[in-house]
Copies of this chain bind each other. A is one copy, B any other.
Amino acid sequence: MTEKLEDLTARHAPTIEAAIEAVSSRKSWSPFRDSPSAKFHAPGAPEAGRAAFEAQLGQPFDLDQPGITSRSGAETSPFTRQPLGIDYPVSDPTALIGAAQKAMQSWRKVNPETRMALGIEIAMRLYARNFEMAHSVMHVAGQSYTQAFSGSGPNALDRGIEALAYAAKAMRDVLPSVRWNRTFGKEDVSLDKSYTLVPRGIGFVICCASFPTWNAYPAMFASLATGNPVIVKPHPIAILPMAIVVQECRKVLADYGCDPNLVTLAVDTLDAPVAQRFIDDPAVQIIDFTGSPRYGGYLEKTVTGKLLFTETAGINSVVIESCADLEATATAIARATCLFSAQMCTSPQNVYVPAGGIQTANGPASFDEVAAAIVVAIDNIASNPSIAAGIMGAVQAEPSCDIIHRLADRAAKALDAQILRYADAYPHPDYPQARTMTPLVVALPAGNAALYAEEHFGPVLFVIAADNGDSAVEEATRLARQNGAISSYLYSTDEAFIHRALDAYMESGMNLSINMHGAMWANFAAAYSDYHVTGLNPAGNACLADLAFVAGRFRIVQNRRPAPLKAGSDAA
């Protein structure tokens, strides 16, 4: 690599400016194409990516980093149910922390604009490897090929660049230096003041198994841009995507003469988790966590004196008070719940429908008719294996299937619940062994929330008979305040009702999509435009992305001294 750092900085400056413009205007923008269609990519790129993934299978992953003591890896593909056979280096945490601290010494002195440009370079290199990444995400997380390509590729990289844009805004808000003049009594005092951005400390990034890159990129890019080294801890059953990320980060950093130990991988196993060792270390100052509400909540209750950003999960709700087109509405809900078999933090779970039915443009529809429309819409997806495969992909882990089976048993025994649709497997056209599961649909009355008041991580939809739209909103927002919610959905043709509802959603910290259907997934969140997680309910405290996500990752240290004696001179 012969490009100089200043050339790299200049080359990526327009991308950073465009990203800042995007987060400021909230308009649609991306430097990437988020479709795997061959026409958008270099000839042979899809095949080369697949080949790279396949060549990795059964091989040790090539990652040289400090303090390697052993190798580990036990990933199994949700599609083939076969072990990937890849092992990864396991490093001594003390060695990783020591190396990160050393790397920070030089990194903090690198111009913030250059650090940001290196972030963009990392994003571009990862985009260039995105076909390989898509297969890697597929076979650890279970996402469909299309979703793995877009959602874990460009859509995730965009969220990273978005966080980088906020870091740019926050850092540029600090003037590097000023000449300050003031009169004290009869004396004119003139001081030269310098303000230096100082990184806070090591960032520790804990990734989830089902969507590893999407939250990791914002955390990594924001921490690196603000001068902090990053230690990435992948979920032990979904290591490969983050190993690729770490490998690529280290390569870019080394290419440009920076310390590769700014980014390292902390591999552990389900039996011997290592996260707490890092969390407790005084050198680790920033923790970004994505994962279960249980462990996220534990961190929220125990981590002190450090920056902690969490995204866990919640009970996302749909309220159908009325709608223009029942079929379109039912299809939107079915698509949102079928996408990745509801293993997303934006997947809806609880659908409220007035027990007395709703109004539609084609006349009234009873509760049963609305529920039936949703079931039909799900069946339309589930009954076509090729469509089902593209939307649902596979179920990442067996416990998700167990959860849904147990739920079905409980629903079958509950006097007031009625199973409208069973969670059966669909036959995957390419992977006959795939662990697939279509949504369980249960109808039941509101007010008895034992079955649906918590998040069930797997494909299930409760269709809940509420007294009316207002009481539906009341219960949905109350459960969100108690147990969290990230994405919520409301269908109504009554503007007065919508207006009333908005305040309750706002107070419960629920981002709301109103009357969404059509080509865009209702639960699609666009980087640069859609804020993700409000921090106002238990679903997490980290908003992707806002100034609060970045402003504390660096601090400001100043010095000041009398200006040289040149009367009337201005600041340098």
Contacts of A301 in B (CB 8 A): 304-305
Contact between A531 and B519, CB atoms less than 8 A apart: no
- Indicate whether A159 reaches chain B with its CB closer than 8 angstroms: no
1/0 per residue, CB under 8 A from B, across A292-303: the answer is: 000000001111
Task: Given A193-B529, A304-B304, check contact A184 B26 (CB 8 Å).
Answer: no
Bound state CA distance, A516 and B562, in angstroms?
7
Q: Tell me whether A25 and B555 are in contact (CB under 8 A).
A: no
A168 vs B401: C-alpha distance in the bound complex, in angstroms? 49
Q: How distant is the Cα of A543 from the Cα of B557 in the complex, in angstroms?
A: 10
Docked complex: A543-572 residues within 8 A CB-CB of B: 543, 546-548, 551-552, 555-562
0/1 string, A525-555, CB within 8 A of B gives 1: 0100111001110000101001110011001
Q: For residue A511, which residues in chain B have a CB less than 8 angstroms away from its CB? A: 557-559
Residues on the B chain within 8 Å of A548, using CB: 551-552, 555
Cα–Cα distance between A170 and B507 once the two chains are bound (Å): 20
* Chain B residue with the shortest CB-CB distance to A26: B178
Q: How far is the CA of A520 from the CA of B190 in the complex (A)?
A: 10
A558 lies within 8 A of B531 (CB): yes
The answer, yes or no, to whether A195 is at the interface (CB within 8 Å) is yes
Interface residue A497 (Cβ < 8 Å from any Cβ of B) = no
Counting chain B CB atoms within 10 Å of each CB, the highest count among A180, A196, A200, A515 belongs to A180
Given A531-B556, A557-B509, A560-B513, residue A518 in contact with residue B187 (CB < 8 A): yes
Q: A400-434 interface mask toward B, CB cutoff 8 Å, 1 = contact, 0 = none?
A: 00000000000000000000000000000000000
Measured CB to CB, the closest approach of chain B to A112, in angstroms, equals 14
Asked whether A28 is an interface residue with its Cβ less than 8 Å from the other chain, the reply is: yes
Residue contact B555 to A536, C-beta cutoff 8 Å: yes
Question: Which one of A187, A510, A535 has the greatest number of beta carbons of chain B within 10 Å?
Answer: A535
A397, CB-defined interface residue at 8 Å: no
Is the pair B196, A559 in contact by a Cβ cutoff of 8 Å? no
Most buried by B among A169, A180, A181, A547: A547
Across the interface, do B556 and A514 meet the contact criterion of CB distance under 8 Å? no
Our pick among B300, B551, B558 for the contact of A512 (Cβ within 8 Å) is B558
Number of copies: 2
Which residue of chain B is the closest to A28 with respect to CB atoms?
B182
Find chain B residues with CB under 8 A from A149 CB: none
Interface string of A303-335 (1 = CB under 8 A from B): 111000000000000000000000000000000
- Min C-beta distance of A391 to chain B, whole Å: 14
Main secondary structure of the interface of A (DSSP, over half): mixed
> How many angstroms from the CA of A526 to the CA of B186 in the assembled complex?
18
Residue of B nearest to A310 (CB): B305
Most chain B beta-carbon neighbours within 10 Å: one of A526, A555, A562: A555
* Interchain CB contact under 8 A, A547 and B189: no
- Residues of B contacting A502 with CB < 8 Å? 559
- On whether the beta carbons of B174 and A536 are closer than 8 Å, the reply is no
1/0 per position for A67-90, CB-CB distance to B under 8 A? 000000000000000000000000
A27, B169: Cβ atoms closer than 8 Å: no
Q: A28-B182, A200-B536 are in contact. Are A558 and B530 (CB under 8 A)?
A: yes
A173 interface residue per 8 A CB criterion: yes
Within 8 A of B (CB), among A105-162: none
Complex partner residue of A561 from B200, B516, B558, B559, CB under 8 angstroms: B516
Shortest CB distance A550–B (Å) = 8
Q: Using A173-B169, A180-B529, A305-B300 as known contacts, say yes or no to A534 and B555 having CB atoms under 8 A apart.
A: yes
A175 at the interface (CB under 8 A from B): yes
Q: How far is the CA of A526 from the CA of B181 in the complex (A)?
A: 11
Does any Cβ of B come within 8 Å of A453's Cβ? no
Residue from B187, B505, B509, B520 in contact with A555 in the complex, judged by beta carbons closer than 8 Å:
B509
Contacts known (A26-B180, A28-B180, A304-B303); A543 close to B555, Cβ less than 8 A: yes
Q: A380 at the A/B interface (Cβ < 8 Å)?
A: no
Query: For residue A559, which residue of chain B has the nearest CB?
Result: B512
Residues of B within 8 A of A541 (CB): 305
Contact partner of A175 among B24, B170, B516, B551, CB < 8 A? B24
| Interface check A506, CB cutoff 8 A | yes
Q: Does A185 contact B (CB under 8 A)?
A: yes
Which residue of B is nearest A510, CB measured? B557
A24 CB to closest chain B CB (Å) equals 7
- Bound state CA distance, A518 and B189, in angstroms? 8
Known: A174-B546, A534-B557, A548-B552. A180 touches B519 (CB 8 A): no
17 A-B pairs whose Cβ atoms sit less than 8 Å apart in the complex: A27-B181, A28-B180, A182-B526, A184-B519, A193-B529, A198-B506, A301-B305, A303-B304, A305-B541, A509-B555, A510-B557, A511-B558, A512-B557, A513-B560, A530-B558, A534-B556, A546-B556
For the complex of A and B, the 10 pairs showing the least CB-CB separation, nearest first, are A187-B519, A514-B561, A184-B519, A548-B551, A28-B182, A512-B559, A547-B551, A26-B178, A548-B552, A551-B551
Q: A303-B304, A512-B557 are in contact. List 13 more A-B contacts (CB 8 A).
A: A26-B195, A28-B180, A170-B547, A180-B529, A187-B520, A189-B518, A193-B530, A195-B531, A200-B536, A301-B304, A512-B559, A530-B560, A548-B555
